[in-house]
Amino acid sequence: MPDPAGLSARDWAEVSQQRARLYDWFATLYAAEIPEARLPAYLAGEASPVAALSALGLGTEVARLQAGFAALRGLDQPHLELAADFAQMFLLDAKAGALPYASVHDGGEARLYGPAEARMQAFLARASLAVQEEFREPADHLAVHLAVMARLAQDQAQAADIAGAARDQLAFLDEALLTWLPKFHAASEQARPRYDIYPALAGLLIAVVKLDAQFIRELAEPGVAVDAS
Amino acid sequence: MTLPRRDFLKAMAAVSGAALVGGPGLLTARSAQAQSTSVEMTDDITTWKVSGSHFGAIRAKVVGDRVVEVKPFEFDKHPTEMIEGIPGLIYGPSRIRYPMVRLDWYKNRHKSDTSQRGDNRFVRVGWDEAIDLFYEELERVQKDYGPWALHTAGVGWRSVGQMHSCGNHMVRAVGMHGRSVGTIGDYSTGAGQVILPYILGSTEVYSQGTSWEVILEESKLVVFWANDPIKNLQVGWNTETHEAYAYYAQLKDKIASGEIRAICVDPVRSKTLNYLEAEHQYINPMTDVALMLAMAHVLVSEDLYDKEFIETYALGFDRFLPYLQGETEDMVEKTPEWAEAICGVPADQIRELARLMAANRTQLVFGWAVQRQQHGEQPYWMGAILATLLGQIGLPGGGISYSHHYSSVGVSSSGAAMPGSFPLNLDPGRFPKHDNDNFQGYSNVIPISRAIDALVEPGKEIDFNGHKVRLPPYRMGIFTGHNQWHRHQDRNRMKKAYRRLETVVAIDYNWTATCRFADIVLPACTPFERNDIDAYGSYSNRGILAMHKLIDPMYNSKPDFEIFSALCRRFNREAEYTRGMNEMQWIEFLYNECAVTNVRNEMPMPPFDEFWQKGFHLFPEGKPWVRHASFRDDPEVNALGTPSGFIEIFSRKIESFGYDDCKGHPIWMEKAERSHGGPGSDRFPLWLQSVHPNKRLHSQLCESEPLRATYAIQGREPIYMSPEDAAARGIEHGDLVRAFNDRGQLIAGAHVSDNFPPGIVRIEEGAWYGPTGPEIGALDTYGDPNTLTLDIGTSSLAQAPSANTCIVEMEKFLGEAPPVTSFGGPQEVDPDGNPIETDA
Amino acid sequence: MIRKTLRATRDLFLKPSVSIGLGILVTGGFIAGAVSWQGFNTAMEQTNKEEFCLSCHTMRDNMLPELQKTVHWSNRSGVRAECQDCHVPHEFTDKIARKMQASREVWGQIVGTIGTREKFEEHRIVLARREWARMEANDSRECRNCHDYGDMDINLMRPTSQVAMRAAAERDESCISCHKGIAHHLPDLKGSHNPAFDTLVSAASSTRVQADGAYYAVLPHKIYADPGLTQEIGSLEVAAKVRMLESNADAQRVELDLWRKNKGFGRVWYSNFGLNITSAILSKEVSRDETLVSVLDTREDPATGLEWQNVKAEVWMPTDSLIDSPEEIWEIARASYNQQCSTCHRQPEEAHFGANSWPAQFGGMVGFTSMDDDTAKMVLKYLQKHSSDFIETAHGGDPTKGVIQSARP
C-alpha cells in the first residue's frame, strides 16, 4: 500500500540502503585514519561518492574535499601525513582540533562523558546495541552516531510504517546529531590542520545530514512545510 | 537549502554505484549484559568507593562504569575544593587517549627536525609499536652512545599511590635495561635542602616539626616568614588529611583573643595573613637577608642575644660578628638604617621586631618560596642564625621551622609504619642488560634544575656542593610523573635547548606541554583507573588508605605497571620486573609488609581483605613533640648532623669551597635583577613572584575547566597586581595584560587587589604553557610565568632554581588577543577579549 | 649408705627443685619402664604425639595459633608438620635425650614459669635460644628430614629468595641460620625488632674471642665498670670496634681506643678523628674521670675548629656480643638501606656524601622509613663507614657519581 506521503515501499527500501551506505562511509572516515592500503583510491577520487554528493547540490563541498586529497598526491608517505591530520583533529586535546564528541559541543563545560554520552549509552542499551570493544571511545563519538544512523536506515528499510520509521530517524537526527553538529563543524573549520580534508569532510557531513533530515522530515510529517534552513 | 524529494532520491541512487568502502561495523549486538557486579551505591557515602589524591581522600559514587560524584572522605574535616576537579581530571578533554608519535620523528627517528616539536603533528600507533619504538631507542642510545646520553628525568609530584608510583616503575624498568643520568635535588627546596645540613644538621625542609599543640600552648609570637600555609596545606605528598587546618583555626582564635601574636613577614598580604587576621610586616622583595642581618645587629648591640646558648650549642659566632659590625667583606655595618634603605622596613620597626622576638617565646616558620631565588641559601642560613641568637631552638614553641606549611607537618605522628612502594631499584644481585657504567668523564648525577644547562652548554663543568659536575650532553630524555615544561624556568631558553635532544619520551595522562614537546607519548591511566594503596597523612601517619579502582582505564591508556612490563618483555625480564606478582598481589604485599612492623609495635592491623573491603585503617593520634629538643637536652649524644655536631653559624666546610656566591657565613648580596631600586628595576620595575597556586597542585588540575572557571580571567591565568600599578598603566580588573621582559612575553588576566603593594605582581606557577607557535619568543597565550623567569642556579653551592628572581613590565593588551592554546577548544575572542560564540 | 641413697631418692621425688626435680618425669618413666620396656615405648609414643604437646595450654594457646598462620601448617600441598616433626629428634636415642631436656619445659609449665602468656613471652627467648642452639648443633637435622637442597627447584622461588637460596645451597647452610621464626613468633630481642639482627646474634654467640683480637659489637650494648656488670657506665654502638683483653664465662673486658670532642662532657666517642661516627657513649659521671679515661693525644680539627682527643678506656661488657668482622653487619645494613631508602627516590651511593654529611641527610629522611632505632643507627653507621671519607671510588671519591633520582617535589 503506497505511503500517504507518496513514497513506495520499494523506493523507501532502496533509498534506505543508499543512505545507510552513505552514513557508513562518513562513519568510517571518522572512526579511524585511512589505512595506507586504501588511501590511493581516495587520492584517485574513486573512494568517495562524488556523483551522489554533487547530485545533492554539494558540488562546491565535494570539490573542496577532492582538492584536499589532491594536495596529498606526490607526497612521501601521504597516509602518515593524513594520519597526523586525523590525530590533530580528533585524537589530541581540544587545543588544535575538533573533538568529535557530542559532550564537548553540547554547551556548558567542554568535557568528555557529559550527559550526551550517558544518553547515547542509554539509547544503545535500549536498542540492544553495543560499541565494539576495540573502539575505545565514548559512546557519543561522531562515528557512533553515524553508525547508528546507518544501522537505523538499514534496519528500517523494510518497515511497513514508513512514516513511523521516518519519525524515529528524524528524532535521532534532530536530538542526537544536529544539536551539536554545527558546533563541531565550526570547530573543524577553525582547526587548521595541514591539509583540508577533514574540515572539508565536516562541511560535507553537515550538509548531507541537513538534507537527509529534510528528506526524512517530509516523510515523517507529510504536509508540513519544510524549513529552508 | 531545499532539495525536492525526487532530486534527493535520484542523487542517492548514485551511491549504489559508488565503490565505497565501509569499515568494520562499529556496532554489535549487545550480549546478555552482565550487570556491574559492584555494590549498589546509595546516598550514604560509606557505600561509595574510597580513593585518595594529593588534594585529599575521597568517596566516589560509581554508577555502571561512570564516576558520577566525588565527595570528601568523611574523616577529612577540612576538605579542599580541589577534589571537585577530579571528575574533570578523569573525563577532561586533555586526556591522552592513545600512544602517539610525532610525525617527523616517526619518519626520521633521531634525525628528525627537532625544531618542529610543539607543532602538534602526531600519528597514532598501537601499543606494541609504541613500546617497540621506545625499546629500539633505548638500545640505540646505549649501543651508539652510552649511559651518559640517556636522561631519566627527576620525577616530580606524580600521583599518590604507593604501588603504582610512576617514577619507580620508570626508573626500575629503564634501569634494568641500562644506566642513565639521574638528578639530585628538586624544584621545591633545592637550595634549602643543600644549605641546612651544614647549619642545622638536617635537610629540615621535609622534617616533622614541633607539634601544633605545643606551639599553641607555649608560643607567644609566631612569625610566618614568606610563608602561606593556609594556601599550601590543601595538598600533600601522600593523600592529604588536612588535619593541620584544625590547629590554624585554634591559632586564629588565640590571635583574636590576644594570647598569641602572629606576624607575616611578606611583600604581599597572603591568604594566611587574611585568614588569621595576623599582622603584616611588609618587606621589599628579595631583601630578607638584609632585614635579618639588621635584626641580628640589634640583638647583639642591645645585648638581647643568648650568649650561653651560643656557647653551648653553636660554633662560629666569633667569625660572623665582624661582618655584622662592618669589619669584613663590604665593610658596612649592618645597622637597621642600612637595612631600611634596602628592605623598605623602617629602622625603628626593625628594632621593635628584634626586641619583640627576644622578649617572647617565638616560633619562626619559614616558607619555601624565599629560597627559590638567587642566593636562596642565604635567607635560610640567616634565619637559623636569628633563631640561634634568640636561643630558643629546642624549646617548646620556640626555634625555627622550614616545613610547617607542608603536608600537615606539626600534626604529631602516630608512629605507625606506612606502606612501602613498588621498588625503584633492581633486585639484589641483578644488573642491567647494558651493564655499562662508563659515563666518559661526565657526571651521572646532575643538579635537577641544571638539566637544561646540560643541553645548552654540554660538557660544561660547574660547581656543586663542594664538587665539580660535568654536565653530560644527553641525547634522549624520559619524562614521567612531572611536567618539565611547567617547572623549569625561562621557557624560550628551554625551547632552544630541547632541539638538541634526539628523542623525547613522555608518559602522562594529560596533554601537558611536556607531552606536546615530546616524540613518543604514552598514555598512562589516572590513579582512579587502577587499584592502589596509600599512606594517609605524610607526617601524621594517620592511617592507610585503599585506593579502589573506580573505573577501568579509559581509551587506550594503561597503568604504568603494564607499560613498563611490556617494555621489559622486549628484553625478556618481565618476570624479574614484576617479581611474578600482579597489581593486587603487590598491594597486599605492601600492606602486609608494614603490618608486620606495626603489629610488632602494638598497632594491630586487620587482615588485608578486611582492610580492602572497608577502604581504610586509622591509627591512634600521636604524641606531641618538640623539634630539636633532644639536641638541646644533650648536644653531645644528640648531636646535629653538621660537620661539628653543633649549630654552625660560620661554616668552615662551606668556606673551604671558595665560592664567591656562598661564603663561610651569610652575606647580603645584590641580585642579578631586583625590583624596588635594585638592578634592572628602571626597565622592569615589577617583581614577578610565581608562588605555588591556590587551586592547583603545581600544574595538576590546570586542565580542569570547572576549577579554572573559578579563577581564570578571560580564560587566562590571573596576574595579581596592586591598584596603583594597574591605574598607572590604565589597566582595570578583568583586562587582558601582556607581561614581558627580555626573556619572553605572555598574556594574563588582570586581577587587581589590595593584597598587593606597588611594584609586585604575582602569577601562580603551574599555569599551562600555550605558545602561539613553536618559534622562540612566541607569546604565551595562557600565562605561564616561567616564560619570563631566569634560569640560573641559586649559587655554586646548591645550583637550585631561582624562579623568584624575576622582574617584568606589563601593559594592557590591546587588539585581538590570540586564543588560549593550552587546552580547551580554540576560542575566538573579540577585540575586547570576549569569547565569540560559534554557531553554524 | 643405702639409707642415705634412699633418703636422697625420696627427696628427689618429694622435694623437687627446678634443677633436680625435673628428673621426676622421665625418671619416673624410666623406673616404670625398667620394669616394662614396652611400657616405656608406649610412654614415648604418647609423649611423641602432638596431642601430648598440646595438652598443656601454654603450647595450645601460644604455639599452636602461631604455627597455624604459617606455611608449615597450611599450604598448597597439604603436607603439614606436627610438633614432634621439628622438635623431637627422629633418631631414637636423641629422642630420649631431648625428652629429658623437655621435661624442664613441662615442669616449667607445671610450676608456672611459663604458665601465663606474659610469662611465656618473657621466657620465650630462653626457649627459642635453646631450640636454635639445638638445631644449630645438629645442622638443622629435623628440617632436613623433609627439606633437601638437592630437591629444591630454586627457579620457582621469588627472585630475591633465589639469590639467598643459591648461596645457602652452595654452602649447605644450616636452615635455622636464616629461617628463625618460620613457625612461631620470634622472641623480643630486647629492642631489636629487625629479624635480621637474629643472624648477628647467632654469629656473636658462636664467635670465640681471643685476647688482643679486634672485635665488633653486633648490637648496642651497655658497658660496665665491673666484671659483675652492675655499674653501668655507658653504651657501645653497633659495629663499634674493641680490643679484647680478657673473657670470662659471663663477661669480657675490652679496650676502647676512640676519639672525642673536647667540649662539654666529651662523653660521645667516635671511631675516627674528625668524623662523627659514634662508637660509644659514656655517662656524664665517668666521661671526665681520669682514672677510667686516658687522653693520649690532642688535635684541632681544621674542618670545624674543634679540639679532638684520642681517648682510651677499659670496660666490661656481656659475652656473646661480638664478631670478628663488621662485614656481616654491613651486609644487613646495605640490604636495609637499599630497600628502605628507595621508596620515593633512588638512594644515593654510599660514597656520595662524606661521613659528616650523612647524619644530616639521613636524619632528614629516616622518618619516612619504617626502620626501628637500632636498624637506623646501624644503617647510618654503614653509610658513614662507606662514605667518601673511606671509599676511593673509580671516580676518585667524587660523590656526585652516585645515582640519585629524587621524587620529592
pLDDT in tens, C16-39: 333 333 333 333 333 333 333 344
Give the SS3 label for residue A154: helix
Residue bearing the bigger pLDDT, C118 or B276? B276
Cβ atoms of B665 and B650 within 8 Å: the answer is yes
Cα A193 to Cα A188, B122, B823: the distances in Å are 9, 11, 17
Phi, psi of A121 (to 5 degrees): -60, -45
Q: For residue A56, give the chain B residue with the closest CA.
A: B11
Q: Residue A219's domain is classified under what CATH number?
A: 1.10.3480.10
**Cα A80 vs. chain centroid, distance in angstroms?**
23
What's the CATH code of the domain at C381? Answer: 1.10.760.10
Residue C103: which pLDDT band, with cuts at 50, 70 and 90? low
Are there at least 3 beta-carbon pairs closer than 8 Å between C and B?
yes
**Parent domain of C224:** 196-323
What is the value of ipTM here, to two decimals?
A: 0.88
Residue A222, in any domain of the structure: yes
Q: How far is CA B482 from the centre of its chain?
A: 8
Q: Are C399 and B444 in contact (CB < 8 Å)?
A: no
C55 CB-near residues (< 8 Å, 6+ apart): none
A–B touching, 3+ CB–CB pairs within 8 Å: yes
Domain-embedded: residue A110? yes
How confident is residue A157, by pLDDT bands cut at 50, 70 and 90? very high
Q: How close does chain A come to B831, measured CA to CA in Å? A: 18
Asked if residue A2 belongs to a domain, the reply is: no
List the chains bordering chain B where 3 or more Cβ pairs fall under 8 Å: A, C
Mean pLDDT within B339-367? 98
> Residues of B with CB below 8 A from A215's CB?
3, 5, 8
Q: Is A166 on the interface with B (CB under 8 A)?
A: no
Average pLDDT, whole number, for chain C? 74
**E-only strand ranges, B282-361:** 314-315
According to DSSP, the β-strands at B807-812 and B686-689 are antiparallel
Do C164 and C58 lie in one domain? The reply is yes
Measured CA distances, A127 to A38, A113, B29, C358 (Å): 32, 20, 9, 68
Statement: residue A226 has pLDDT above 70: no
Binning pLDDT at 50, 70 and 90, where does residue A80 land? very high
pLDDT in tens, A184-225: 999 999 888 999 999 999 999 999 999 999 999 988 877 654
For helices C117-137 and C196-205, give the axis angle rounded to 10 degrees.
60
Say if the Cβ atoms of A80 and B107 lie within 8 Å: yes
The pLDDT of residue B737 is 97
Owning domain of residue A18: 7-227
Contacts of B312 in chain C (CB under 8 A): 264
Q: Give me the residue from B165, B188, B413 closest to C409, CB to CB.
A: B188
Q: For residue B316, what is the enclosing H or E element? A: none
Give B-chain residues touching A58 at CB under 8 angstroms: none
Mean pLDDT across B15-32: 77
Name the residue with higher pLDDT: B836 or C244.
C244
- Whether residue C352 sits in one domain with residue C281: no
Long-range contacts of B344-347 (CB under 8 A, 24+ apart): B344/B282, B344/B283, B344/B284, B344/B287, B344/B676, B345/B281, B345/B282, B345/B283, B345/B291, B347/B294
- Alpha carbon B344 to its chain's center: 30
Q: Per the domain annotation, does C91 fall within a domain?
A: yes
In a domain? residue C25 = no
- Distances in Å between the alpha carbon of C293 and those of C96, C190, C229, C296, C301? 53, 29, 18, 10, 21
Q: Which residue has the higher pLDDT, C403 or C152?
A: C152
Of A132, A185, A214, the CB nearest to B26: A132
pLDDT of residue C404: 36
A1 in any annotated domain: no
Nearest CB to A83: which of B2, B64, B123?
Answer: B123
The partner residue sitting opposite B12, judged by closest CB among A19, A77, A183, is A19
Query: Which residues have CB under 8 Å from B431's CB, separation 6+?
Result: none
> Does the CB of B413 have a partner CB in chain C at under 8 Å?
yes
For residue C63, what pLDDT is reported?
A: 77
Grid coordinates representing B242?
A: 588536612
The residue type found at C218 is V
Q: Are residues C317 and C335 in the same domain?
A: no
Other Cβ atoms within 10 Å of B167 Cβ, number: 27
Q: What angle do CA B195, B201, B204 make, to 5 degrees?
A: 70
Partner residue facing B643 (CB), from C356, C372, C401: C356
pLDDT (0 to 100) of residue C17: 35
Q: Is the pLDDT of residue A17 over 50?
A: yes
pLDDT surpasses 80 at C379: yes
Q: Looking at residues B546-560, what average pLDDT do you find?
A: 96
Instruction: Quote the CA–CA distance of C243 and C232 in Å, as a whole number.
Output: 19
What's the total number of domains in chain C? 3
Q: What is the pLDDT of residues A163-195, one digit of tens each?
A: 999 999 999 999 999 999 999 999 999 888 999
Check if B328 contacts C (Cβ < 8 Å): no
Candidates B12, B116, B821: best to mutate against A (most CBs of A within 10 A) is B12
The answer to whether residue C7 sits within a structural domain is no
Nearest to B425, CA basis, from B771, B94, B179, B734:
B179
Residues of A in contact with B3 (CB under 8 A): 56-57, 211, 214-215
**Which of A111, A144, A146 should be substituted to probe chain B, the one whose Cβ sees the most B Cβ atoms within 10 Å?**
A111
Question: Does C268 contact chain B (CB < 8 Å)?
Answer: yes
- pLDDT of residue C96 exceeding 60, the answer is no
Give the up-direction half-sphere exposure of residue C127: CA atoms within 13 A in the CB hemisphere.
26
Residue of B nearest to C306 (CA): B644
What's the rounded Cα separation, in Å, for the pair C295 and C281?
Answer: 16
Q: Say which residues have a Cβ less than 8 Å from residue B243's Cβ, sequence separation at least 6.
A: B77, B78, B408, B411, B537, B540, B542
Which chain B residues are Cβ-neighbours of A4 within 8 angstroms? none
Looking at the whole model, is its pTM more than 0.90? no
Q: Chain A 2-41, CB below 8 Å of chain B: which residues?
A: 7, 11, 14-15, 17-19, 21-22, 24-25, 27-28, 31-33, 38, 41
Residue of C nearest to B200 (CA): C360
For residues B658, B664, B667 and B669, what is the CA-based torsion angle, rounded to 10 degrees?
Answer: 10
What does the alpha-carbon distance between residue B392 and residue B394 come to, in Å, rounded to a whole number?
6
8-state DSSP, B240: -
Confidence of residue C151 (pLDDT cuts 50, 70, 90): confident
Same domain for C133 and C249, yes or no, is: no
The answer to whether residues C160 and C273 belong to one domain is: no
Select from A28, A113, A210 the Cβ nearest to the Cβ of B23: A28
Task: Establish if C17 belongs to a structural domain.
Answer: no
The count of other CB atoms within 10 Å of the CB of residue C199 is 17
Q: How far from chain centre, in Å, is Cα C262? A: 35
Q: Which of A135, A130, A175 is nearest to B64 (CA)?
A: A130
Cβ contact B124–A185 (<8 Å): no
| CA dist., res. A209 & res. A207, Å (int) | 5
Q: Are B167 and B491 in contact (CB under 8 A)?
A: no
Is the CB of residue B450 less than 8 Å away from at least one CB of chain C? no
Task: Name residues 346-405 of chain C within 8 A of B (Cβ).
Answer: 346-348, 352, 356-365, 367-368, 370, 372, 398-405
DSSP helix/strand/coil, B137:
helix
Q: pLDDT tens, B284-297?
A: 999 999 999 999 99
Partner C, chain B 518-547, Cβ-Cβ below 8 Å: 539
Render pLDDT for B441-473 as a digit per residue (tens, 0 to 9): 999 999 999 999 999 999 999 999 999 999 999
What residues in B contact A137, CB-CB < 8 Å? 97, 555
Q: Measured between beta carbons, which residues in chain C are less than 8 angstroms from residue B157?
A: 409
Q: What is the mean pLDDT of chain B?
A: 93
**Mean of the pLDDT values across residues C32-57?**
56
Give the number of beta-carbon pairs within 8 Å between B and C.
Answer: 192
* pLDDT band of C73, cuts 50, 70, 90: confident
The whole-number pLDDT of residue A92 equals 87
B294 vs C354, higher pLDDT: B294
pLDDT score of C132 more than 80: no
Whether B305 and chain A come into contact, CB under 8 Å, resolves to: no
Partner residue opposite C360 with nearest CB, options B202, B428, B576: B202
> How many Å apart are CA B839 and CA B375, to the nearest integer?
54
Single-letter amino acid code for the residue at B432: P
Number of folded domains that form chain A: 1
pLDDT of residue C122: 62
